Chains A and B, each alone.
Chain A
Amino acid sequence: MLKRKSKASQFGVFMLVVLLSGSLLVGGCGRPQEVSPPPAQDATAAPSPQGAAEPDAIEAATIQIRGSDSEVNMVASLAEEFMLTYPQVQIAVTGGGSGAGIAALLDGTVDIANSSRPMKDSEIEKARANGVEAVAVRFAMDGVAAIVNENNPAESLSMEELGAIFRGEITNWSEVGGEDKGINLYGRQSNSGTFIFFMEWVLRGDYDPGMRNMVGNADILEAVRSDVTGIGYIAIGYATEGGNVRPGIKVLSIAAQKGEPPVSPLELENITSGAYPISRPLYQFVAGRPEGAIRKFLEFELSERGQEIVLESGFYPITDADREFNKNSAGIQQ
């Protein structure tokens, strides 16, 4: 084809370059995020965010983190800030779903598994068989948000109604006081921790087989934004941007029981008090008691500055009960 450098083939090569760079840009805003370490001089020039921390207290290390799509952006932000203080530590954060993260931890291919759900019995068995002692840390709180299109008049649902909608028992918005329109369901895939959590906590049954299984939180957001009959569930950090609900969607308030006042997941105190009925802790799992760089990173996440980043990422800080949990499971006191 390229026997001589004709103008046409040069044009072809040019197009290829344009398309490839375009694809890199698109890929760049996708979910898997590779966090590159900042240049070393940053750490010496800027005072470390923790002030008293000793950057040389740990040895150079690489930490591989994989798992939850809900957590990936927040953990990437935490890792970025951590690497400013400890430039000798490189942290790579990728998504893939909670199930994929836990599977990778049990196979020994990652150091930390992000998971938005606790481990399943089958995973605990597998860990035992592999000789891995999986230690859990709760580092943030999430209120799973039920979202609808901004043009949908619905404002709130009860837990029972939400479950019935996703089980396929309620199929028209008029049955929950809305317009006479069918309901399109958008959920995650079985590798997602949110998928499992929502199934066990809200549905207590099986999903309607007509539900569309989307790849990640961002895809559900995009789908609901363009479907006026749609309803989806996403981690709260994806529903907001800079403290405001993202354009095109509405976050529903949820009542624990029908007749009780519905509660919004957008208020901090509703999550920490547990008043919002779909609140959950977000986990990280490590193999064995955390030590060295991994321990330092976990401590940073649980520190005051770490919890500030959690809040900035649209999620909520952990409670005293979670701190107690971390002390007992991982021996980390923060």
Chain B
Amino acid sequence: MQLHKLRERAIRLFFLLCGLISIFILLGIFYTLLNNSIPALREVGITGFFTTGLWRPTAFGAPQFSTLNLILGTFMVGTGALVIAVPLGVACAAYLAEVASSREREIFKPIIEILAGIPSVVLGFFGLVVLAPLIARIFNIPSGINAMNGAVLVGIMALPTVVSLAEDAITAVPQEYRHASLALGATRWQTIRNVTIPAALSGIIAASMLGMGRAIGETMTVLMATGNALAMPGSFLDPVRTLSANIAIEMGEVPRGSLHFHSLFMVGLILFLITFFINMLADIIFERYRRRA
């Protein structure tokens, strides 16, 4: 009996440790980012990273460290991806959860999941060779290597996340809601539009937010497809550089310990904070709606 209790406690401790490890890893990453950013903050100053200007640490003239255009580019690609992924993803999830027969579902679900398995470098190559010329032709501009190109590709990448989370949310809506709606004479489409999807809204918003988090962190596809220009973009048809692409471009060549090296950690810290707050927001929204329901 005593031994049994002891074993129980040991197992409890083991699972607690597993939970704590992920928290420690998160804190460790945050600490590393912050610690390595401090030398850059000391030299450039917090204002140096957020004044109007360019990101140009290897300039011919005086180096510049403004991250504003990078942040703008990141949000353009992220929100652009959402505009594509959310309507498509929610519609797809509604189809899978409400309309499709079990046989259709068995065919479509694995195919959507394969979408998540496409290597990002392949998608980037696709964007460069196929999608960019297509965008150029549609909008009658000389080059389609721009923010929209990246947004469409990242939207495709975020699609499986949105679909599977939104489908879970829709499936979780109690069957009674649907029955009541149908009994009142609503059609199937009216039921989906006015009852099921509003009831699943918290889950759908959380799905969108997590899709956004995925989109903002995406690197390789964006790096290949958006053109990475440093200038402030005027529209979605201009090339942009995102925070993550900027780190990927420059991290390989900077001498360790240089100002450029530390300022890239600062860029990483900004990226970390943005995704952290987006995920936290998704969590808060999710909790609030769940309590109301």
Contacts and interface: CB of A to CB of B under 8 A. Distances in A.
Interface of A: 1, 6, 8-9, 11-13, 15-16, 19-20, 22-23, 26-27, 30, 96-100, 102-103, 106-107, 122-123, 126, 181-182, 184, 189-191, 196, 199-200, 203-206, 208-215, 219, 222-223, 226-230
Contacts of A20: 117
A122 B254 CA distance: 10
Contact of A23 (B110, B122, B229, B258): B122
Contacts of B227: 212-214
A220 to B, nearest CB: 11
A19 B122 CA distance: 10
Interface in B3-22: none
B164 to A, nearest CB: 10
A15 B111 CA distance: 8
B60 A204 contact: yes
B117 A19 contact: yes
A209 B230 contact: yes
Contact of A215 (B107, B114, B223): B223
Given A12-B111, A30-B125, 5 more contacts: A12-B113, A15-B110, A122-B255, A190-B57, A230-B142
Interface of B: 54, 56-61, 103, 106-107, 109-111, 113-114, 117-119, 121-122, 125, 128-129, 132-133, 136, 142-143, 145, 223-224, 227-231, 238-239, 241, 249-250, 252-256, 258
A97 B118 contact: no
Nearest to B119: A23
Given A122-B258, A182-B142, A204-B60, A100 B253 contact: yes
A27 B142 contact: no
B231 to A, nearest CB: 4
A276 B119 CA distance: 41
20 contacts: A12-B110, A12-B113, A12-B114, A23-B121, A97-B253, A99-B254, A103-B254, A126-B255, A126-B256, A190-B249, A200-B60, A206-B59, A209-B54, A209-B56, A210-B239, A212-B239, A213-B249, A219-B224, A227-B136, A230-B143
Contact of A103 (B114, B128, B132, B252): B252
B136 A30 contact: no
- Which of A96, A191, A229 has the most chain B CB atoms inside 10 A of its CB? A191
Contacts of A126: 255-256
A8 B107 contact: yes
B252 A100 contact: yes
Contact of A213 (B107, B142, B229, B253): B229
A68 to B, nearest CB: 11
